[in-house]
Structure 1
Amino acid sequence: MSGRSGKRPAARGPLALIPAALALLAAGYALRARRRPAACPYRYRLAVSLPRPFLTRGRLRRALSPSPGERLLEVGPGTGYYALHAARWVAPGGTLHVLDLQQQMLDHTTRAAAAENLGNIIPARGDAQSLPYPEGHFDAAYLVATLGEIPDQDRALRELRRVLRPGGRLVVGELLPDPHMVPLATLRARAAAAGLRYEGRLGTRLGYYARFSVPEEI
């Protein structure tokens, strides 16, 4: 019998440094992403189309509580992962407005909607920091893994409050490992400063939906 254990020796040399180098690159990207928030480029559209186990469509529906006939707003629809379902939640008679900085994302969503015979999605190119809608225009709004990409989150939350009617709902979804993730405590503080009332959370620290509302007029 040989005295060797049969185990291969640990990898040495330049190849052994690859995992550490990749980890450093990922950490560097995450740090830069936090310092310089920016929308996910269209070339990464496959990533925003992947399933999201912590931020499911079913949980979004529970948090948002949409009803037929309502007017909804989604900021940052990407390729329509949530939009195609939300449009059905408010049918018949309701509409879903989708706003994105990138025309390519809007075009992708509208093509997907047309392929599924959905005619109640209304796209608009614009900035969440200056929403192109009148005051009190929407019954509810939502954005998922998007708030952290906006340079001035406080301004965006004030704008969302402005375009929601009294009693209107806002749902914000955040998840790891998104480098732009906004912690719940930070989100609650910013939302309160914008005049939004916190109503609860679905999910965990790994991924959550937080629901807010606009106080009713007295």
Structure 2
Amino acid sequence: MGSRRTVRSLAVAGALAVLAGLGYALWWRRNPTPCPYSQRRWVDLPRPILTRSSVRDVLDPRPGERILEIGPGTGYYTGTVARAIGPAGTLHAVDVQPEMVEHLQAQMRERGDRNVEPIVGDARALPYPDDSFDAAYLVLVLGEIPDRERALAELHRVLKPGGRLVVGELLPDPHFVRAGTLRRRAEGQGLQFDERVGTRVGYVGSISVPT
């Protein structure tokens, strides 16, 4: 009898845990926020489809360019892009969380990537003048921004005419932005959606600023 009660209790506890997890995921979906620094181990896990090389290939970073990364976190893609633009280029990495910025600064110093400038900032009000960058990218970040249209408008503003914007999305991210939604929002801000590389569950979107 006692063992049956134990099994029932464990089953109930498990069901409650699942419901709590689903409830939190739903809340997180409806209340976009970045992954907290305390959970940073999750942002360093391997990313199928959104590999470092796939993002780099679509972004096409070139030596000497000035590039903007939104939401670098711990720098999963930062080093790859920094090395592609070389010492003559500059990669500005903007994150809303001071702890992430401090982590990234330490990591870039350790790796010797001296052309990276991590700063604390909000994608909805970027601290740069118009036409500042040749290209920009954000991976698993757009859906975490409460006002995505404003963020896209800001990216349009700071990119040069002909500039490139890359957006990466991957399920099961609760903030996943579908390619069709991204296209509508980008075009609504005067950007041009060029192509999607990947599948329905994960893709890299290539966007450009009209000349």
Report deviation, 1:27. 1.8
Contact 2:61–2:84, Cα closer than 8 Å, also in 1: yes
AA in 1 matched with 2:65: E
From 155, 164, 170, the equivalent of 2:159 is: 164
Name the residue aligned to 1:194: 189
Q: Is 1:24 the counterpart of 2:19 in the alignment?
A: yes
Report deviation, 1:54. 2.1
Contact 2:87–2:114, Cα closer than 8 Å, also in 1: no
Contact 1:54–1:206, Cα closer than 8 Å, also in 2: no
- Percent identical among aligned pairs is 54
The 1-side partners of 2:151 and 2:133 are apart by: 15
Q: Deviations over 1:127-184 (max 9, x none)?
A: 1000001111000000011111111000000000000000000001111111111111
Q: Where does 1:104-115 land on structure 2 (aligned, <5 Å)?
A: 104-115=99-110
The 1-side partners of 2:177 and 2:18 are apart by: 22
AA in 1 matched with 2:52: R
Contact 2:56–2:80, Cα closer than 8 Å, also in 1: no
Q: Deviations over 1:70-97 (max 9, x none)?
A: 0110000000111111110100311100
The 2-side partners of 1:68 and 1:133 are apart by: 21
From 8, 30, 39, the equivalent of 1:35 is: 30
From 180, 188, 205, the equivalent of 1:185 is: 180
What secondary structure does 1:13 align onto?
Answer: helix
Instruction: State how many pairs are aligned.
Output: 207
The 2-side partners of 1:67 and 1:162 are apart by: 21
Q: Is 1:133 the counterpart of 2:128 in the alignment?
A: yes
Report deviation, 1:12. 4.7
Name the residue aligned to 1:210: 205
Change (3 A) 1:201 1:51: same
The 1-side partners of 2:15 and 2:57 are apart by: 41
More helix by share: 2
Contact 2:67–2:92, Cα closer than 8 Å, also in 1: yes
Which TM-score applies when normalising by structure 1? 0.91
Name the residue aligned to 2:58: 63
The 2-side partners of 1:191 and 1:207 are apart by: 18
Contact 1:87–1:121, Cα closer than 8 Å, also in 2: yes
User: RMSD of the TM alignment (CA)?
Assistant: 1.5
Change (3 A) 1:54 1:21: farther
The 2-side partners of 1:15 and 1:47 are apart by: 27
| Structure with greater Cα Rg | 1
Which TM-score applies when normalising by structure 2? 0.94
Report deviation, 1:18. 4.2
Aligned structure 1 segments of 4 or more residues deviating by more than 4 angstroms: none
